[in-house]
Structure 1
Amino acid sequence: MKGCYFPKSNFLSTKRGNSGSFLWISLIWGRLLLEKGSRWRIGNGRSVFVYKDRWILHLTTFKVFSPHVLGKDTVEADLKTANGDWRADLIRDSFSLEEADVILGFPPCYSDLLDRLLWYFEKSSGFSVRSGYWLARNSLSRPSCSGLSGFESWWNFFWKIHLP
């Protein structure tokens, strides 16, 4: 699959493209679902890109909407001093008032814990089919054509299957 669909990138960063098999389109759809339901828990902040990643508790998007004043490769750790405190002046100058207040409201992490990707829709922070299904049914765009009834019947069939 890599040679055919994403020879010069990886699965997480590749685009869908104009063509592709049903399997490939389904995998991309599943990846988008995982991206939509996941967010970063900040540890040392070295793995989380400020503008690209989902890390800020901002409505349900977790993304920064402010204009990109800082470089695109800025990570969360760049918003802190050497001893781990927030660089409040930089944050207030670089983000909207609302986002700056949210960021400065986070308690800074003073340990060297790794950043961790979490599934937002479970208390355990781990992905479950149940919560993924809920997100797919309630958040992602549904087909806008007459194919909706086929989509609904496929899911109904799928959930009635009895497996060991």
Structure 2
Amino acid sequence: MSRKAVNFNKSSVCFSRNTSRDDREGVVSVLGVAQAPNFGKYLGLPAFVGRNKKAVFSYVEDKINQSVGSWSKKLISQVGKEVLLKSVAQSMPTFSMSVFLLPHSKYGGLGFKDLRAFNLAMLGKQAWHFLTKPQSLVARIYKARYYPQSSFVDASTGSCPSFCWRSIMAAHELVCSGIRRRIGNGISTLIWGHPWLPDDPDLLVQTKMPQGFDGSLVSSLIDPATNLLDQAILQDIFLPIDVERILSIPISLDHEDSWYWHGDPRGCYTAKQGYRCICGEFANDPGLLINGYLSGRLNRLPNGRLFFGELSRMFFPPLQI
């Protein structure tokens, strides 16, 4: 045992609205702690997110408005205001964005981040942690609750999910679309279902899965006598194009299979790469004009000036749930 004890002087307890007054007083009396009026915050984040998300996350907007409102419009040049907006106001919600999917404006411009894309990229780090560190405490807790019989790659939002899990799952597709499987001993990689082959023509096996092969692992393709891929088995099961690609993959029986992020020299996902990936998808969609919204509004400004009030309304609209 850790021999750690609860400090009741620093502890408090919260109850849901359907808890009777007698039950609340009884629990408080037994535990010897105070009853908190609300769930409060832990490490600067809301400890509980209910239905009224606008009220829960209003602190983010309040901090931004307070900071923006404190800047003297007379003493700061237009360029200086733009720099402050980029460096200060945008950095304030970063910590919250790494845990929750916050409501914000959709597009950026003039060097300003696309806040939603940045939010998803930050949440991608949580998804990457679940994927690459499944033995961590938080990963095991979420696995037991939301995907007990599968891996994070095959996880879904599920029924009655927490807001934190819904936020992480918002970045699920982003992370899973850029991962690859590095083969070691092949014990934890599915032949059909995991992206473990070279990109051309596809990451997945092209051969149709035979009946009864569901859940087959790459390790079953290795000859235990030679510790090499069994060419006879490959030629019996797979198409020639798959046989060629499978034989091109080096195996290392002394190492376990692992995930890596495609395109990074270290094979690690970063928020920067996730952000670029999302913005690249937006740029390739003709229905999404990243700078169209901004350019349209700026063209209507007198003499093309960037007024401070206009910038504030454009980049920090009211929170919408």
Q: TM-score, normalised by structure 2?
A: 0.39
Q: Write the distance in 2 (CA, Å) between the matches of 1:30 and 1:98.
A: 33
Q: Is the 8 A contact 1:45 1:115 kept in 2?
A: yes
Q: Work out the percentage of aligned pairs sharing the same amino acid.
A: 20
Q: Does structure 1 conserve the Cα–Cα contact (< 8 Å) formed by 2:185 and 2:251?
A: no
**Displacement of 1:58:** 3.0
Displacement of 1:149 in angstroms is 6.2
Query: In structure 1, what is the equivalent of residue 241 of structure 2?
Result: 98
Q: What are the ranges of 5 or more consecutive residues in structure 1 without an aligned counterpart?
A: 159-164
Tell me, in whole angstroms, the C-alpha distance in 2 between the residues paired with 1:49 and 1:113: 16
User: Could you tell me whether the CA contact under 8 Å between 1:48 and 1:76 is conserved in 2?
Assistant: yes
| Equivalent-residue separation in structure 1 for 2:254 and 2:222 (angstroms) | 13
Q: Give the corresponding residue for 1:39.
A: 180
Partner in structure 1 of residue 269 of structure 2: 127
Q: Take 1:9 and 1:46, find their aligned partners in 2: how far apart are those partners?
A: 17
Q: Which moved more, 1:21-30 or 1:45-54?
A: 21-30
1:81 paired with 2:223, answer: yes
What SS does the aligned partner of 1:39 have? strand
In the alignment, what sits opposite 1:29? 170
Distance, in Å, in 2 between the alignment partners of 1:74 and 1:11 is 15
Q: Residue 10 and residue 97 in structure 1: after superposition, are their counterparts in 2 closer, same or farther (change >3 A)?
A: closer
Residues 7 and 90 (structure 1 numbering): CA distance in 2 closer, same or farther, change over 3 Å?
closer
Structure ranking higher in helix proportion? 2
Given that 1:58 and 1:99 are in contact with CA atoms closer than 8 Å, whether structure 2 keeps it comes out as no
Per the TM alignment, residue 103 of structure 1 is displaced from its structure 2 partner at its CA by 0.5
- TM-score between both structures, scaled by the size of structure 1: 0.70
Aligned residues: 149
Residue 137 (structure 1) aligned with residue 279 (structure 2)? yes
Aligned to 1:162: none
- What runs of 5+ residues in structure 2 fail to find an aligned partner? 1-48, 50-141, 294-313, 317-321
Tell me the amino acid that sits aligned with residue 213 of structure 2: G
Q: Report the CA distance shift for 1:144/1:6 in structure 2 as closer, same or farther (over 3 A).
A: farther
Q: C-alpha root-mean-square deviation of aligned residues, in Å? A: 3.8
Quick check: which has more Rg, 1 or 2?
A: 2
Match of 1:72 in 2: 214
Name the counterpart of 2:146.
6
SS of equivalent to 2:180: strand
**CA drift at 1:98:** 1.2
